[in-house]
Structure 1
Amino acid sequence: MVDGAASRLEPLLVRLLGDPLPVRVRAWDGSEIGSPGAPVFVVRDRRALRRLLWKPGEIGLVRAYVTGELDIEGDVCAALGALQRVLRHDDEAIRLSGDDKREIVRTAVMLGAVGPEPKAPPEEGGRGLLAETPEELYARMAGGARALGTGHWAGTAEPAEAQRAGEERLAARLALKPGASVLELNAGWASFATRLAREQGALVTAVTSFDVVPPEGVRAVPDVPAEGEYDVVVALAGVLPLHGVVDRVAGLLRPGGRLLVRQPVHRQDAVQRPFTSDYVLGSQEELPTLGSFIEALDAVGLEVCRAEALREDYARTLRAWAAALQDGPREDGLTRTWLLHLATAALAAEAGRIGLYELDAVLR
């Protein structure tokens, strides 16, 4: 159906997105506009327009999506990639002219979307995704891999195989002696800890909030130990970034001990998105740059011996996790927030705005 709410939205969308529209839009009455075959955004409720009226740009779109008032059909990464000009372009916030704002108001009045500002979703302004996500949702993202680290994708398109290949490379790089004491942070289901114990005879303490039954050689604990002298500390899953606690981690290593960490970073001139600060990080510190993270390690006596960029593997892993969530139910706000986060982070990694580095450091 061409006539209807969608056709009334078309002049405004063309003004904001250009002509032809890079996406297809379906309104709550079933009417559609846009190019056939383009990613489809579904405006399920007039309230989505009201959110954009009060918060034009990224936050209005995020709130509408998290609440389910706005939806995306098909590949979320492809849809958001087509909409980059609305979310951000070259890290610059969307700028609306006076005419743009007047057109938004006129369209909202015409479609009956004017009213008080809707409340923000409960997922906004909380402790952040990383503190509030249950194990079941992480399991949906990881699928059969049951691992949350960045996979090694050379020669494979399967997430579980990429995860196994990544763990094999890391275990070979560590090459531990039997009896070596290891602390793994963010251990998840302790798959890598299990590999180190079984294949290299390491004694591993795995920090995880997940319900796991550790095998022989692995001890699962809910929190980072207050003290100890470990030969190696491993932090591979970028679920709880390490940059805010490097001094505490250094204090758990013996002299000459080794830290192997994978740290998400942002480009020096990248601008943090409101979505990232309001929904993803919560009270946590924003991501560091590579340089500032290395300086933080150096300040506590950790000498970086090797740094490897994993940006492309990181982007593919994020896309795989997003695809796994997209294939299942996503009615709740937490799942939709994760899906939006994974998709935007994958696009940012592909564009070089964020990255992931694996660093090997020794305590001097």
Structure 2
Amino acid sequence: MSTDERERTSEQTTRKTAAELFDPLLRAVLGDSPPVRFEFWDGSSAGPRDGSDSVKVKSPNALRRLMWSPGELGLGRAYVAGDLDVEGDVFSVLRTLQGAASDDAHLGIGAAVSALGVARRLGALGLPPSPPPEEARPHGRRHSKRRDADAISHHYDVGNEFYRLFLGPSLTYSCARFTGDDTSLEAAQSAKHELISRKLGLGERPGMRLLDIGCGWGSMALHAATRHGAEVVGVTISAEQAAAARERVAEAGLSDRVEIRLQDYRDLAGETFDAVSSIGMFEHVGKARTAEYFSVVRSLLGPHGRLLNHAISSVGGSVMGRKSFIARYVFPDGELLDVGEVVLAMERAGFEVRDVESLREHYARTLRCWVANLEANWDRAVALVGPARARIWRLYMAASALGFEDGGIAVHQVLGVVPDSSGGADMPATRGDWE
């Protein structure tokens, strides 16, 4: 090809809109007709023109990130950096794209070739853009105390006021329990705490001692002390959570009954409790540490002592791989166990498992409430933590809600009891006593 011909080809390419250049890639990944509208930085668009839902491709850097980190991590980086955005109903957009990118069409060799061609035409084949600074890269031995502390700090020590924006007044960062169609988020969180309290038998005897592992901002501790007269020790390894929880305890006038510690559960020894609650903390333990975890808890309970382990689960278990969006930006080193493995591990530690309950649909609804709160307070959230971190939370919570809705992930409460030599456990005859 002569120099003049190359110049004419280059000129013709530059006349093409971004939508025209992306068309082969969109077809390779999503089929002949994109199910949602894609709007590009030059004002061009592809896909349906009706409706308000759209994916905004704001920069060629979005494609460059995908070229260097194909799949979930590249897309996540582009979204966090602001090279990609979602407008409209984020749940609808994610669900539609998830359905369109079927096993027959998603990011195969055809898509890779198309992406390479588009990148070349856009001049997006340069060096990879730096990952957003919000990305976590933990160091040290996995699930060591120091590394776990760093991982927890990455997620939880981003500002208590930010969490308050989307969690609401209950400041509870775990699955709620909705008892009716019109149940508010705050009431649903209280209902969850009450269910756990009843399963643990709190209030059956005066002065019962409760250990709340991973106590967060102290909501379960406050509920147990206020409603059931329990003496509570709450432990967390998040400095910001501990500070806020102590403030809430003092404001409630419960400092004589509730103690909040900045402490790893592995450092608990020589104490005895009547009950242990672990709500949304077990996902940070890791499969390799599971036996140790339940052994520690068992050592803290006497005969008839009860453990309520409330945790996200997945069939067969799953490790949040280092190339996944959620591991890099949300929960470094997070792991989900199969509920069957949890039951077996509890039994091996000496517990008799007395109840297993799934709250999967409740978690989907909880997450939708959180996303709605975040979006309603978006400007304030951005002012508190910056646009990148606000986008991280929006994406991870919306995607998680869809995972709970379609059954890809679940959440289970598993109740274990320490039996005595006679086999007694002082359990109610039916679940009705917990309602």
TM-score (norm 1): 0.88
Per-residue CA deviation, residues 167-225 of structure 1 (Å, 9 max, x unaligned), is: 23333333422200001122223222122212221101122442233132211111145
Report the secondary structure of 1:198's partner residue. helix
Q: 2:312 aligns with which of 260, 264, 267?
A: 264
Letter in 1 for 2:221: A
Q: 2:170 aligns with which of 145, 156, 161?
A: 145
Contact 1:126 1:279 in 2 (8 A): no
1:226 maps to 268
Q: 1:253 to 1:247 in 2, by over 3 A?
A: same
2:120 maps to 109
2:295 maps to 247
| 2:398 maps to 1:343 | yes
| 2:173 maps to 1:159 | no
Within 1, Cα distance between the matches of 2:399 and 2:167?
Answer: 18
Contact 2:317 2:338 in 1 (8 A): no
1:49 maps to 63
Displacement of 1:30 in angstroms is: 2.4
Q: 1:185 to 1:75 in 2, by over 3 A?
A: farther
Within 1, Cα distance between the matches of 2:168 and 2:105?
Answer: 35
| 2:129 maps to 1:118 | yes
Q: 1:239 to 1:126 in 2, by over 3 A?
A: farther
Contact 2:199 2:415 in 1 (8 A): no
Which structure: larger Rg?
Answer: 2
Contact 1:49 1:113 in 2 (8 A): yes
Letter in 2 for 1:207: V
Displacement of 1:165 in angstroms is: 2.4
* Percent of residue pairs identical: 34
| 2:153 maps to 1:131 | yes
| 2:355 maps to 1:306 | yes
1:200 maps to 228
Q: 1:198 to 1:264 in 2, by over 3 A?
A: same
Within 1, Cα distance between the matches of 2:274 and 2:408?
Answer: 34
1:96 maps to 108
Contact 1:141 1:322 in 2 (8 A): yes
Displacement of 1:240 in angstroms is: 5.4
2:432 maps to none
Contact 2:274 2:302 in 1 (8 A): yes
Report the secondary structure of 1:145's partner residue. coil
Report the secondary structure of 1:144's partner residue. coil
Contact 2:283 2:311 in 1 (8 A): no
| 2:339 maps to 1:280 | no
Aligned CA RMSD, in angstroms, stands at: 2.6
Report the secondary structure of 1:255's partner residue. strand
Within 1, Cα distance between the matches of 2:361 and 2:218?
Answer: 25
2:199 maps to 173
1:184 maps to 212
Corresponding residue pairs, total: 358
Q: 1:320 to 1:47 in 2, by over 3 A?
A: same
Letter in 1 for 2:69: K
Letter in 2 for 1:42: K
Q: 1:61 to 1:21 in 2, by over 3 A?
A: same
Displacement of 1:72 in angstroms is: 0.9
Per-residue CA deviation, residues 37-67 of structure 1 (Å, 9 max, x unaligned), is: 1631111221111112222322211110111
Q: 1:4 to 1:129 in 2, by over 3 A?
A: farther
Q: 2:93 aligns with which of 66, 79, 84?
A: 79
Q: 1:38 to 1:108 in 2, by over 3 A?
A: farther
Q: 1:272 to 1:252 in 2, by over 3 A?
A: same
Within 2, Cα distance between the matches of 1:297 and 1:74?
Answer: 44
Letter in 2 for 1:341: Y
Letter in 2 for 1:170: I
Letter in 2 for 1:226: L
Q: Which has the higher helix share?
A: 2
Alignment gaps of 5+ in structure 1: none
Q: 1:93 to 1:319 in 2, by over 3 A?
A: farther
Contact 2:37 2:47 in 1 (8 A): yes
Contact 1:141 1:325 in 2 (8 A): yes
Report the secondary structure of 1:26's partner residue. strand
Within 1, Cα distance between the matches of 2:151 and 2:166?
Answer: 14
Contact 2:235 2:262 in 1 (8 A): yes
| 2:25 maps to 1:12 | yes
State which drifts further: 167-176 or 26-35. 167-176
Within 1, Cα distance between the matches of 2:46 and 2:409?
Answer: 34
State which drifts further: 234-243 or 9-18. 234-243
Q: 2:46 aligns with which of 33, 36, 41?
A: 33
